Structure formats: structure tokens, C-alpha cells
Amino acid sequence: MAATEDSLALPEFDEAPRLLIVAAPFYRAVADNLIAGATASIEAAGGTFEVVEVPGALEVPTAIGIASRMGDYDGYVALGCVIRGETTHYETVCNDSSRAISLLGLQGLCIGNGILTVETMAQAEVRADPDQMNKGGGAAAAALHLIALARKWGRKDKGIGFTTNFAGGTHTV
């Protein structure tokens, strides 16, 4: 992963994290570079991943929400690109996809947001390129850091606050 002077080192894991990369390939070359950066970061941390594609940036959070209910993933990487056009559709897509991803994160999902919001294709290309700004790798790294925090704070001995009595003794739930 291309690094910046303020980037954190990738976290280390005792058990490999499993991530879902959800990509919107509207701009295929940009999406492919974002995916390449994300997969390299996940592999560098010893993680595994699956990649799924959805039609556009607005569908990315919906796919993550479905996967969180029906899949078995530790974290998620949201990838796509929105380039400003001549209408207000740009603001709608940028704001709504970002807001939905943030809300999912506030519900406890570990999500790295790599949906680019740019003015030009040239900006998108630089940001997506794993050898330049590597925003796909950065989004994967963000998800990995959140997974590490969730594992740190999700102690096995921490229940929801009550005990039950069984014939063989008590059990904290």
C-alpha cells in the first residue's frame, strides 16, 4: 500500500479477518485500481476477502447492510467513484452514499469508505492508482483498524449483563 507520512501501520491479527469488498464499477478502470489497492492491503494484514459488485455508489451501503445481516464478515470496504457532472445528481449520490455508510458504521459495522467523490476523471485516476494515492488501500486499512478495535473491545468475557442458572452452574450472558 502506498503510504503517506501520517498513515498508521496495518494492524496485526491472531485470527485472519474476513472482509467483503463492495465495489461499484461504473468507471471500470478506476474501480479495478481501487480493488487492487484494497486487496493488497487486506492480504498484507493476513486477511481474506470476497469482492462483489453493485450497479452504483448508492447501492454499496445497501449491499453492506444485507451482507451484515446474512453474511459472515468482520468488516467491509466500500469502493466506487462519483464524478461531478452537470446536474445535482452528484451531490445526492455523494451525500446519500456517505451518510448511509456512516450510519452503518455507527451501528457497529467496521467499514472503510473508499467511494471517491471527485471533479474530474484525472483526479479519480490518481486517487485510485495503488502506486499513487491508493484510496482503495486506505479504505481497506481503515476497515482493518476498525476490526482490530472491535476485537480489542469485544472481550469474550463481556456479556450483556445478566447471569443464568443452569444445573451445572451459572453462565454469564
Q: What is the CATH number of the domain that holds 150?
A: 3.40.50.960
Q: CB under 8 Å to 68, separation ≥6 — which residues?
A: 76, 104, 109
Cell 451482507: give the residue: 67
Q: What's this model's pTM, rounded to 2 decimal places? A: 0.87
Q: CB burial class (10 A; 0-12, 13-18, 19+) of residue 8?
A: exposed
* Phi (first) and psi of residue 22, to 5 degrees: -110, 115
Q: Please, what is the end-to-end C-alpha distance for the chain in angstroms? A: 41
Q: Is residue 3 part of a domain?
A: no
Q: Is residue 13 part of a domain?
A: no
Supply the pLDDT for residue 77.
98
Number of domains observed in the structure of the chain: 1
Q: Is residue 9 part of a domain?
A: no
Supply the pLDDT for residue 61.
98
Distance (Å, whole) CA 42 – CA 104: 21
3-state helix, strand, coil in the chain (%, to 5): 45, 20, 35
The alpha carbon of 18 is separated from its chain's Cα centroid by a whole number of angstroms, namely: 11
- Pull the grid cell for residue 44: 498484507
Q: Is residue 126 part of a domain?
A: yes
* E strand intervals along the chain: 18-23, 48-53, 75-83, 111-118, 163-166, 169-172
Q: Is residue 7 part of a domain?
A: no
For the stretch 78-134, pLDDT in tens is: 999 999 999 899 999 999 999 999 999 999 999 999 999 999 999 999 999 999 999
Over range 13-41, report the average pLDDT.
98
Q: Is residue 112 part of a domain?
A: yes
Q: Is-catalytic flag, 89?
A: yes
> Which residue range forms the structural domain that includes residue 153?
18-172
Q: Is residue 97 part of a domain?
A: yes
Q: Is residue 11 part of a domain?
A: no
Q: Which of 89, 103, 164, 171 is catalytic?
A: 89
Supply the pLDDT for residue 7.
81
Distance (Å, whole) CA 144 – CA 10: 7
